[in-house]
Amino acid sequence: MSCYGCGDEDTETTFMEQPFCWPCYKAIKSGVSQIPDKCEFANEGSALRAAGPGNPRIYPCPNCKEPNRLTSQDCARGYQCDRCADQAEMGF
């Protein structure tokens, strides 16, 4: 199993049912991303940040509770998943 955060082969623990190496686990648990926020968006028209090494999409949406919808950078900004944001913007 490789680390969900960085791809390293040496996983030592799990977090939210994903394998992680110790440095990525500590970064995720402390809310500190291992890569700087480069303002790369997940998709066109989305405010969510792109997932990648050190910023995996492992957190649930605070509204719909669907798992693996947000990254730590999204959570730090108080974001919700795209589906919930679209519904809020369109009044559904």
pLDDT digits (tens, 9 = 90+) for 4-23: 777 777 788 887 777 888 88
Residue 26 lies in a domain: yes
Taking only the tens place, the pLDDT of each residue in 11-60 is 888 877 778 888 878 877 776 655 454 557 787 888 898 887 778 889 99
* Contact present, 73 and 55 (Cβ < 8 Å): yes
Domain that holds residue 27: 13-90
Residue 3 lies in a domain: no
- pLDDT at position 33 is 55
Phi, psi of 84 (to 5 degrees): -65, -40
- pLDDT at position 84 is 93
pTM of the model as a whole: 0.58
- Helices H / strands E in the chain, number of each: 3, 2
Query: What is the tally of structural domains in the chain?
Result: 1
